[in-house]
Amino acid sequence: MDFKDYLEELGKLECKDLFQNDFFLTWDKSDDELKAIFTVADALRELRVNNKSAKIFDSGLGISLFRDNSTRTRFSFTSACNLLGLEVQDLDEAKSQQAHGETVKETANMISFMADVVGIRDDMYIGKGHTYQKDFADYVKEGHEDGVLEQRPTIVNLQCDIDHPTQSMSDALHIIHEMGGLENIKGKKIAMTWAYSPSYGKPLSVPQGIIGLLTRLGAEVVLAHPEGYEVMGEVEEIANKNAQASGGSFKRTNDMAEAFKNADIVYPKSWAPFAAMEKRTEFYGDGKFDEIDKLEKELLAQNAQHKDWTCTEELMATTKAGKALYMHCLPADITGVSCDEGEVEASVFDRYRVPLYKEASYKPYVIAAMIFMQKIKNPKDKLQELWDKDQSRINE
Amino acid sequence: MDFKDYLEELGKLECKDLFQNDFFLTWDKSDDELKAIFTVADALRELRVNNKSAKIFDSGLGISLFRDNSTRTRFSFTSACNLLGLEVQDLDEAKSQQAHGETVKETANMISFMADVVGIRDDMYIGKGHTYQKDFADYVKEGHEDGVLEQRPTIVNLQCDIDHPTQSMSDALHIIHEMGGLENIKGKKIAMTWAYSPSYGKPLSVPQGIIGLLTRLGAEVVLAHPEGYEVMGEVEEIANKNAQASGGSFKRTNDMAEAFKNADIVYPKSWAPFAAMEKRTEFYGDGKFDEIDKLEKELLAQNAQHKDWTCTEELMATTKAGKALYMHCLPADITGVSCDEGEVEASVFDRYRVPLYKEASYKPYVIAAMIFMQKIKNPKDKLQELWDKDQSRINE
Amino acid sequence: MDFKDYLEELGKLECKDLFQNDFFLTWDKSDDELKAIFTVADALRELRVNNKSAKIFDSGLGISLFRDNSTRTRFSFTSACNLLGLEVQDLDEAKSQQAHGETVKETANMISFMADVVGIRDDMYIGKGHTYQKDFADYVKEGHEDGVLEQRPTIVNLQCDIDHPTQSMSDALHIIHEMGGLENIKGKKIAMTWAYSPSYGKPLSVPQGIIGLLTRLGAEVVLAHPEGYEVMGEVEEIANKNAQASGGSFKRTNDMAEAFKNADIVYPKSWAPFAAMEKRTEFYGDGKFDEIDKLEKELLAQNAQHKDWTCTEELMATTKAGKALYMHCLPADITGVSCDEGEVEASVFDRYRVPLYKEASYKPYVIAAMIFMQKIKNPKDKLQELWDKDQSRINE
């Protein structure tokens, strides 16, 4: 597909509700809206590859509010903002300063005077991250209506406790490119499986995001994990509903081998049990830090009982033609490389290094596409205009 | 007033000395110069509301040098710089590295090679902050004359030990908008009063900035605080002189109720006693950190004797028609919300939340106006040019 | 020389291999290539002095990856990027996360999705810094070839264990201006000498960079240090070879007075012994932190035996006409000012303060010139275009 095709595709999609709207969860959005974001991401990449500027802002700020560490999402957000003409300002705020509602309201207004977009990562506590983002969005909407803010900054969810849409959308865009089109995902078996990691408490938003998104693209999605590593029930329900609507399927199993068998795509990755994360949030709320330490030790011991959940060459050989696409959000825990025993054997990881990096490389464009759709009323016309204007990004 | 009115107003003002000059203290500036900054701040906001670019820099750097923590002033400075086309670079320097004069000179030159403006916050030690800023300005002036720097970066005081001009100017602009014009401040009773806070050592620059600025606008300014919480004598003298010149008045009282009675505006806010802050600076200079800890404890105990200095509904009812404008530089210590007992009752604060956020929203524009006036020789013509050019800030 | 002269000079130089290439070590580059960078640095400064924009990027990112602290190089890199139109994004990564090869590869790709240039400082461990930069460059080249990255970001060495080219090139450009032309360096005696400092482990890259660069400009370079403070043998060999090729000379002595005698330029500066730094790297690799502490104490004791290695007025009097140009990369350890006993007497330092600051002021332009040559195929034409276009940097 070339640029013209992207615009033609975009023209067919009903996506005007993305304008001036926030992006919290993929399942808030229609199929057309998600397709529009994939298409615009590809179109923006095409502009850049052709050294054409995609700047739609003369000046403006993108605020990044990370309540958890991040390197690659931070760089992706900065890249996306820069591509569109926004400067990034980080909020480095100790978490405690934003502990209760009053202060979130104030912070939301105080950092948004000239903000066009606010990217938020808040994935530490179950039941908190998504709520925080929604509250933030409500407060800046109110601030705009009250005349405090000249514009309503839109929110991009850079990971919450429920979903990680910029990750799952990048993953999906990678699959689209690998499979030669969105329509080719239909009927493919995708194994989203738990894998052993020596580290603790990895967020649930990646597996949840994947089962919530890929089920609606018509895939046969299998979620595999040891007993006790359940994800949020409400996201499983969404996955079920999505699968029914799309003609795909959603199954759960406690057997990694079963999930891998004949799979087109495998995504083995560690996460923490939802129930434990809920307990942890409770302890945190009550200031029971000793209990948190204890819980952490228990979880590590629990993890250690499942070291056999690892992506081996042997398992890979059981996938479709022994050639399933291996995926990961990175960084992975690689056995013998970044840890003694981890999520994946080094030889498997190495074989898929290039596709893994490509998978990651879609994230800046997915974020840029989300912002683009939030800010541009007629995205097709604007993209055409940027193409025709042909302003060199680097003026060699 | 619309954009044309702002330009007309600006045309009447004698303000050419702002060009290529630093902004340290409001009382360094003439009435016309301050009015020019208010007017340009409004005009820049008008440009932005109309989606017109206010970029006057094609490239360039704004350096932020914060020797004390800050979120809202930092974001305001970044917003102002971005609005005008400057990128912000923070100096994250441990305070100790800049301890003596030699090094200030070197730092000033080393970070200013391509700096157009340097925003400095240095409010920690009495007798130090303003001096530091003046020294910094002298050194970069010298550096420019000696051929080290191609341009002399101008300085914007983002808070020192004496004044907090970007705060007091934003506060005043808020009052101007609330009262329907600068001329309507004349004769209004403004109560700048101390209030209890469980935290220690809040800077004096806010009350000092307020009494130093509002007295010259013809207001009846009352400064109220418990005995022992005096502000700098030299600023009180300035307030007295200003009041005489403007036809307003300046009074001091140790009675909060008296200050509130019939007031049009109340600004209840905690600060540390000047004498104690002086002692603290002395201890710091001598490296007597034990003495500093002891002093801190004494001051907290002293504060605790004045918990009745708090802005209650009862007190608010005694103001003009029970409807005085409540002001604060934020964040406030709100009783039962951010602390057990604090500066203001929650119901009062909540009622004024929107005006409080608006008050804060002027700061980016005030800072931008200061920079604009420092850099643009014919501000009226330039603003007209920006309006007519009509370059979209966001190219929807 | 004016702008036209710079372009004429540039037209005579064979420098097309700088295009799309990294800058690791000055001795990787031809004489013409180095001259081209000096010339472009001067031309870019001329553009700025004349308020002409030097922006060649409409948007884009410069990544700064500092694995050691820095203020002035960080500000220089930011200034250079901003001058050309790039926004800077810092990578604040704990060193441990990049400990082995696998992760360097991943980091290199993950932070480079939209990077045009990556500036790296990695000078902490002998045998590591340069290797890290080369690996990084290989990985992003590979990432580009594999279709992960749309463009190959070029690397600028902002200091490694072997060379500090942005420092030595700035130093050389300072000398060129002081001496009235590159050709006047021929035959000048330059004393690069060790000097006492109470602090420990200063990098070797500055003396190594200086002897590696100035020997090829035809100078009579003398390297002086106490026994035991040898620099890397391979760099001395390069200095020897360079001197033979250029008609200059390279000598080593353990006598500071001999080096100063009749010198045109003196550069007294502390550094750590190479052998000790090698041992330190070994201990670090083996996790022997106790040994590192012990080594540090030994080195400080060893340093203290050479307090007489200091740049006094007496020594300065023995230089050519008593007027040698005193140089330093800053910050210097000044006796009685920043320490009790240090590298230089306060009166000497003070006398040379303006030239020292000028010396430092070339660094942003040298970095900008390196980036410019990496990105622009026909630098002469592009500079002419920027001059003629006459886009105001600040639109007064």
Report pLDDT digits (tens) over B99-158: 444 588 999 999 999 999 999 998 878 888 999 999 999 999 999 999 999 999 999 999
The residue extents of the domains of chain B are 3-163+363-389, 166-360
Which two tokens mark A204?
């649930």
DSSP run (H or E) holding C300: helix C289-304
Contacts of C124 (CB under 8 A, 6+ apart): C67, C68, C95, C161
Residue in this structure with the two tokens 């060459």, named with its chain if needed:
A313
Cis peptide before C331 (omega within 30 of 0): yes
Tokens representing A110? 């105080």
Domains A3-163+363-389 and A167-360 share a fold: yes
Mutate to test the interface with B, among C47, C173, C361 (most CBs of B within 10 A): C361
In this prediction, residue C70 carries a pLDDT of 80
- CATH classification of C166-360, choosing from 3.90.480.20, 3.90.550.10, 3.40.50.1370, 3.90.850.10? 3.40.50.1370
d(CA B281, CA C19): 55
List, in sequence order, every residue forming a beta bridge with C253; answer none if it has no partner: C224
Which burial class, exposed, middle or buried, applies to C64 when counting CB atoms under 10 A from its CB (0-12, 13-18, 19+)? buried
pLDDT, residue A191, reads: 98
Crossing angle of the two packed helices A165-179 and A72-84, in degrees rounded to 10 = 80
For residue A94, pLDDT over 60 is answered with no
CA A369 – CA B350 distance, rounded (Å)? 38
Q: In angstroms, rounded to a whole number, what is the distance separating the alpha carbons of residues A35 and B117?
A: 45
Can you tell me the mean pLDDT for B223-244? Answer: 97
Distance CA A336, CA C137 (A): 25
Which of B267-276, C99-108, C319-328, C335-344 shows the lowest per-residue confidence on average (mean pLDDT)?
C99-108
pLDDT score at B281: 86
Q: Sorting pLDDT into bands at 50, 70 and 90, what band is C102? A: low
- Whether A61 has its CB under 8 Å from any CB of chain B: the answer is yes
Q: What is the DSSP letter of A192?
A: E
A79 vs C102, C105, C114: nearest CB: C114
Q: What is the pLDDT confidence band of residue B245, given thresholds at 50, 70 and 90?
A: very high
Q: In this structure, what are the phi and psi dihedrals at residue C246, rounded to the nearest 5 degrees?
A: -95, -10
Q: Under an 8 A CB cutoff, do A71 and C146 touch? A: no
How far is it, in rounded angstroms, from Cα B86 to Cα B63? Answer: 9
The string of pLDDT tens digits covering residues C126-144 is: 888 999 999 999 999 999 9
C62, B87 contact by CB (below 8 A): no
Segment B43-67, tens digit of pLDDT: 999 999 999 999 999 999 999 998 7
Residues pairing with B122 in the sheet: B160
Fold annotation for B3-163+363-389: Rossmann fold (3.40.50)
Pairing of strands B154-160, B189-194: unpaired
Q: Tell me which amino acid residue A90 is.
A: D
What confidence category does residue B353 fall into, taking pLDDT thresholds of 50, 70 and 90?
A: very high
User: Is B193 within 8 Å of B260 (Cβ atoms)?
Assistant: yes
How far apart CA A250 and CA A237 sit, in angstroms, is 10
| Residue C202, C-beta contacts closer than 8 angstroms, at least 6 positions apart | C269, C270, C271, C272
Q: Touching check for C379 and chain A: CB below 8 Å?
A: no
Q: Which CATH class is domain A167-360?
A: alpha beta
pLDDT value of residue A101: 43
Instruction: Establish if B88 touches chain A: CB-CB under 8 angstroms.
Output: yes
In this predicted structure, the answer to whether residue A193 has a pLDDT above a threshold of 60 is yes
Please check whether residue A180 is in contact with residue A192, taking contact to mean a CB–CB distance below 8 angstroms: no
Largest CA distance in chain C: 62
CA dihedral of A279, A283, A286, A288, whole degrees rounded to 10: 160
Q: How far apart are CA B161 and CA B108, in angstroms?
A: 20
Contacts of A343 in chain C (CB under 8 A): none
Q: Are C219 and C137 in contact (CB under 8 A)?
A: no
Q: Span C48-73, mean pLDDT?
A: 92
Confirm or reject contact between A395 and chain C (CB < 8 A): yes
| pLDDT tens-digit map of B280-295 | 888 888 888 899 889 8
Tokens 């995609």, residue located: A54
Contact with chain C for residue B322, Cβ under 8 A: no
Cross-chain Cβ contact A89/B76 below 8 Å = no
Name all chains with 3 or more CB-CB pairs below 8 Å to chain C.
Answer: A, B
Q: Which of A52-61, A252-261, A274-283, B13-22 has the lowest mean pLDDT?
A: A274-283
Q: CA torsion sign, B90 to B102 to C193 to C324?
A: positive
What does the alpha-carbon distance between residue A393 and residue A390 come to, in Å, rounded to a whole number? 9
Q: Measured in Å, how far apart are chain A's first and last C-alpha atoms?
A: 27
pLDDT in tens, A321-377: 999 999 999 999 999 998 999 999 999 999 999 999 999 999 999 999 999 999 999
Give helix C363-375 / helix C353-361 axis angle, nearest 10°.
20
Q: What is the pLDDT of residue C98?
A: 44
Give the number of B-C residue pairs with CB atoms closer than 8 Å.
Answer: 93
> What span, in angstroms and rounded, lies between the C-alpha atoms of A82 and B250?
50
pLDDT-wise least confident of B257-271, C272-286, C316-330: C272-286
Residues in A closer than 8 angstroms to B337, CB to CB, are 100, 102
The arithmetic mean of pLDDT across residues A223-249, rounded, is 97
Rounded Cα distance between B358 and B348, Å, is 16
DSSP string, A311-329: B-HHHHHTSGGG-PEE---
Q: Which residues make Cβ contacts (< 8 Å) with residue A255, sequence separation at least 6?
A: A224
Q: Is A347 on the interface with C (CB under 8 A)?
A: no
Closest CA of chain A from B357, distance in Å: 6
As to burial, measured by CB atoms within 10 angstroms (0-12 exposed, 13-18 middle, 19+ buried), residue A92 is exposed
C150 vs A49, A71, A72: nearest CB: A49
Q: What is the dihedral of CA C77, C82, C87, C89, to 10 degrees?
A: 20
Can you tell me the distance from the alpha carbon of C64 to that of C118, in angstroms, rounded to the nearest whole number?
6
> What residues of C are in contact with residue B91 (Cβ under 8 Å)?
71, 75
The residue with greater pLDDT, A157 or B273, is: A157
CB contact under 8 A, C83 and B146: no
Query: Of B42-51, B286-295, B318-327, C266-275, which gets the smallest average pLDDT?
Result: B286-295
Bridge-partner residues for A13, per DSSP? none
CA distance A171 to chain C (A): 14
Phi and psi of A378, rounded to 5°?
-115, 80
Query: Which chain B residues are closer than 8 Å to A93 by Cβ?
Result: 71
pLDDT at C93: 62
Do C58 and A395 count as a contact with CB atoms less than 8 A apart? Answer: yes
Q: Other CB atoms closer than 10 Å to residue A382's CB: what's the count?
A: 18
**C-alpha gyration radius of chain A:** 21
Determine the Cα–Cα distance for residues A62 and A68; give it in Å rounded to an integer: 18
Residue type present at position C330: L
- β strands within B187-253, DSSP E: 189-194, 220-224, 249-253
Query: Residue C77: enclosing H or E segment and its boundaries?
Result: helix C72-84
Which chains have 3 or more CB–CB distances shorter than 8 Å to chain B?
A, C
Vertex C302: Cα angle to C301 and C306 (nearest 5): 110
